[in-house]
Structure 1
C-alpha cells in the first residue's frame, strides 16, 4: 500500500494524542493542542468558504503570531498551498508578489493590511484579517469545524508551500516545496534535533523564511510547544531563553551575534539545542554560544532544499569549533551533496580544491513557480546547482568558501572572502566582518572589509588591517577596513554584499 508522504499526517497525530499539552505560548497566553485542533478545523471551514479549493493558493502576510502558525496548519489541511510573504519585504515587492502568487484568498495581519489590502481588493482576493488585533479566535467560534484529515486527493508531489527567496520583482523565484519535501525535512529535524513531546521551541526565525526552516510543522508533530516572543528583538529572545524553559532554537548568525555578545554575557538555565545556518558562523561565535550552554548544530541549505539539509553535530571531534564551523554531511535523509569542478567531476577531499555545491535528494524543490527558465538553470542535469563554492575535507565534511560570484581574484590568485573574514573574527573587538571585492583601477581587484564592533570597543580600521598581516599572504590583505554601525541585510538576515560593493566604490572616489 502507498499513501502520500506529507507532514500533515504526523501533525494530525499530534493534534489527536497531545490534547492536554501546551501547543503555543505567546503574550502570556497559552493555546493547548485541543484548542489548536479546534481552531484549525474551524479555519479550514472558513478558508473553504472564502474560495480555497485543493491546489489553490492562500497568501499569508504576517509576522510570527499564533494566527500565522494556525494558517500553516489550516491551509494545507484545507487542500491549499500556503504562500508566506515576509513583512520585511518592501511594499513594492509585497504587492508584486501578491499578484505573481495567484492567491484565491489571503490571510493578512491587521498591521500589514494597509500595505497590501488595496492590491488584494483590486484582484478580488478575499482577505481574512489575522493577528493580535484581529480577534480571529472569537470569529472562528461562530464557524462550524471541518473534520481534520489528510485531503483525500492529495498528491505528495504537489506543493504544500511556495516560498519566495526574496522580494525581487525582476526575476521572482517562488520555491515550490512539495508535501514529500516537507515530510523528509520534518523527519530530519525530528532525528537530528531530537524534538520530542515536551520540547519547547523558540521562534526567532520568520515563519515566512523557509516555513521557519520547517519548524512550523516539525514542532507540532513532535508534540512540542511553540513559543512566540512577538518580535525578534534580541532582548525579547534573551528573556525568553532565560525564563520560558526553551529547549530548541533555530537561528542565523545575524540573530545569534547579539545573544552571544561578550559585553552582556548570558548563562542558560538549561541546555538549548541550537541549529545555526543561513551564513557560515565564525568559530568564535560558536565558542561563545557553547560557553553559554547551547548545544550547537551547524547546518547548511537553501530555500530550494526546503531549508537545512546538511549538518555538523555538537559531538563532532569533541566539539572542536573549527570542525563545527564546517557545513558537514547530509542529514539522515538529506540525499546526495557533491562539490564539483567546472567539468562536473567531484573535487578531491583535500580541504583545498574548490568547487560548486550541487545537490540531489528528496528535499530539493519541485521548481520555481511561474519561472521555467530559472527552474531549468537551477536543476540542470538533475542536480540543484547552488552557486555556493566549497571544499571537501578528508572526513567528507563540506566547508563553504563563498558564492560563485564572491570569490576574489587578486594578482592572479584566488582568494575566498570567508578566509579573510575568519582572520578578522579572531580579533576580540570584531562583532561582524564582511569582505567584498573593490576595483581601484581598471583590471585591478582588491579586498575591502566592512566591520561592526562590540559595544565599547575602540579599535581603528588600520589596526584591524595590521592584525591581519601575520595571518594572510600579502595579496589577500584587505586594502581597507571600514568600521560601520550596522551591515545592510535582507529580511532573512543575509548581508547585502552588492550594497557593500557600491559603498566600497564610493569610498574610492
Structure 2
C-alpha cells in the first residue's frame, strides 16, 4: 500500500492525540491542542467559503502570531497552498509578490493591512483580516468546524507552500515546497532535534522564512508547545529563554550574537537544544552559546531544500571543538546526497583545501520556482540542485563553506575567501560582527572589512589590522577596515553584501596602500 507523504498526517495525529496539552502560548494566552484543533477546523470552513479550490494559493502576510501558525495548519488541510510573505519585505515587494503569487484569498494581519490592502483590492483578492478588533474571532465563532482529515486525492508531489527567497521584483523566486519535501524535512527535525511531547519551542525565527525552517509542522507533529513572541528582539528572546521553560530554539547568528554579548552574559535555567543556521557562525559564538547552556547543532540548507538539510553535531571524543562544529557537517539522516564538486562535476578530494560547489540531490529539494522556468532549469541542471555555495571537504567528510560563488575575492592574483578574512577578525574579543567584501579600482581588487563591536569596546581599525596580520597572508589583509554601528540586513538577518560593496567602492583606496588603513 502507498499513501501520500505529507506533514499533515502527523499534524492530524497530534491534534487528535494531545487534547489537553498546551499547544501554544503567546503572552498570557494559552491554547490547548483541543482548542487548536477546533480553530483549525473552523478556519478550514472559512477558507472553503471563499471558493478555494484544491491547489490554489492562499497568501499569508503576518508576523509570528497564533493566527499565523493556525494558517500553516488550516490552509493545506483545506487543500490550499500557503504563500507566506515576510512583513519585513518592503511595501513595493509585498505588492509585487502578492500579484505574482496568484492567490485566491489572502490572510493579512491587521498590522499589515494598510501596507497591502489597496493592492489586494485592485487585484480582486478577498482578504481575511487576522487579529485586530476581534472580527476574525467572531467569524470563527460563527463558522462550523470542518471534518479534520487529509484533503481528497492529495498528491505528495504537489506544493504545500510557495516561499519567496527575497523581496526582489526583478527575478522572483517562489520556491515550491511539496508535501513530500516537507514530510522529509519534518522527519529530519524530529530525529536530530529530539522533538517530543513536552518540548517547548521558541519562535524567534519568522514563520515566513522557510516555514520557520519547518517548525510550523514539526513542533505540532511532536505534540510540543509553540511559544510566540510579539517581536524577535533580543530582549524578548532573552526573557522567554529565562522564563518560559524553552527546550528548543532555531535561530540565525544574527539573532544569537546579541545573546552571547560578554557585557550581558546569559545563563540558561535549563539546557536548550539550539539549531543554528542561515550563515556560518564564528566558532567563538558557538563556544559562548555552549558555555551559556545551549546544546548547539549547526545546520546548513536553503529555502530550495525545504530549509535545513545538513547537520554538524559535537563529536563525542571532542565535544568542545567549536571549529569543527562551525563546519556544515553531513547530510541529515534523510537528507539525501550532498557533494562538493569541481567545475567538471567531479567530487573534490577530502583535503580541507580544494574548493568546489555544493550540489544536492534530495527528497527535500524543491519542485521548482513558481512561474520561473528559466531559473528552475539553471538551479536543477543535470538533476542536482546547484547551490552556488563554495566549500571544501575535510578528512572527516564535513563540508566547510568558504563563500558564495560570486563572493570569492581576487587579491594579488589569488582567490581568497572572504570567510577566511572574517574568521581572523572574529578572533579579536571586541569584534561583534565582521563582513568582508571586495573594493575595486580599475583591474585591482582588495578586501574591505566592515566591523561592528561589542558594547563598550573601543578598538580602532588600525589595531584590528595589526591583530589580523599574523593570521593572514599579506595579500589577504584588508586594505580598509570600517567600524560601523550596524550592518544592512535582509528580513531573515542575512547581510546585504551588495550594499557593502557599493559602500566599499565609494571610497577608493590609494595606489600602493595594500595592508594599510587610510587615516
TM-score interval w.r.t. the shorter chain? over 0.9
DSSP-derived class of the 2:371 partner: coil
Does residue 75 (structure 1) correspond to residue 67 (structure 2)? The answer is no
DSSP-derived class of the 1:217 partner: helix
Pairwise mapping of residues 329-340 of structure 1 onto structure 2 (< 5 A)? 329-340=330-341
Q: Is the 8 A contact 1:107 1:130 kept in 2?
A: yes
Q: Deviation per CA, 1:154-196, whole angstroms, max 9, x where unpaired?
A: 1000000000000000000000000000000000000000000
1:481 maps to what in 2?
481
Pairwise mapping of residues 68-467 of structure 1 onto structure 2 (< 5 A)? 68-131=68-131, 133-315=133-315, 317-439=318-440, 441-467=441-467
Structure 2, unmatched stretches of 5+, are 510-519
Q: Is the 8 A contact 2:111 2:132 kept in 1?
A: no
Distance change (3 Å), C-alpha of 1:63 and 1:423: same
Q: Is the 8 A contact 2:109 2:129 kept in 1?
A: yes
Q: Deviation per CA, 1:318-352, whole angstroms, max 9, x where unpaired?
A: 23101000000000000000000000100000000
DSSP-derived class of the 1:445 partner: strand
- CA RMSD, aligned part only? 0.9
DSSP-derived class of the 2:444 partner: coil
DSSP-derived class of the 1:297 partner: strand
Q: Is the 8 A contact 1:6 1:156 kept in 2?
A: yes
Q: Is the 8 A contact 1:66 1:131 kept in 2?
A: no
Q: Which runs of 4+ in 1 moved over 2 A?
A: 131-139, 314-317
2:9 maps to what in 1?
9
DSSP-derived class of the 1:157 partner: coil
d(CA) in 2 for partners of 1:426 and 1:9? 47
d(CA) in 2 for partners of 1:135 and 1:119? 21
Deviation at 1:123, TM superposition (A): 1.2
DSSP-derived class of the 2:23 partner: strand
Deviation at 1:134, TM superposition (A): 4.1
Q: Is the 8 A contact 1:176 1:366 kept in 2?
A: yes
Deviation at 1:141, TM superposition (A): 1.0
Deviation at 1:409, TM superposition (A): 1.1
d(CA) in 1 for partners of 2:50 and 2:78? 11
Deviation at 1:315, TM superposition (A): 4.1
DSSP-derived class of the 2:142 partner: coil
d(CA) in 2 for partners of 1:244 and 1:140? 28
DSSP-derived class of the 1:249 partner: strand
d(CA) in 1 for partners of 2:84 and 2:78? 16
Q: Is the 8 A contact 2:430 2:459 kept in 1?
A: yes
d(CA) in 2 for partners of 1:233 and 1:189? 25
Does residue 24 (structure 1) correspond to residue 24 (structure 2)? The answer is yes
d(CA) in 1 for partners of 2:426 and 2:224? 36
d(CA) in 2 for partners of 1:259 and 1:136? 36
DSSP-derived class of the 1:491 partner: coil
Give the number of aligned pairs.
Answer: 508
Q: Deviation per CA, 1:366-413, whole angstroms, max 9, x where unpaired?
A: 000000000000000000000000000011001000000001111111
d(CA) in 1 for partners of 2:4 and 2:384? 24
Deviation at 1:90, TM superposition (A): 0.3
Deviation at 1:152, TM superposition (A): 1.6
Q: Is the 8 A contact 1:201 1:225 kept in 2?
A: yes
Deviation at 1:136, TM superposition (A): 2.5
1:53 maps to what in 2?
53
Distance change (3 Å), C-alpha of 1:83 and 1:66: same
DSSP-derived class of the 1:10 partner: helix
Deviation at 1:135, TM superposition (A): 5.0
1:471 maps to what in 2?
471
Q: Deviation per CA, 1:209-267, whole angstroms, max 9, x where unpaired?
A: 00000000000000000000111110000000000000000000000001111110010
Distance change (3 Å), C-alpha of 1:464 and 1:395: same
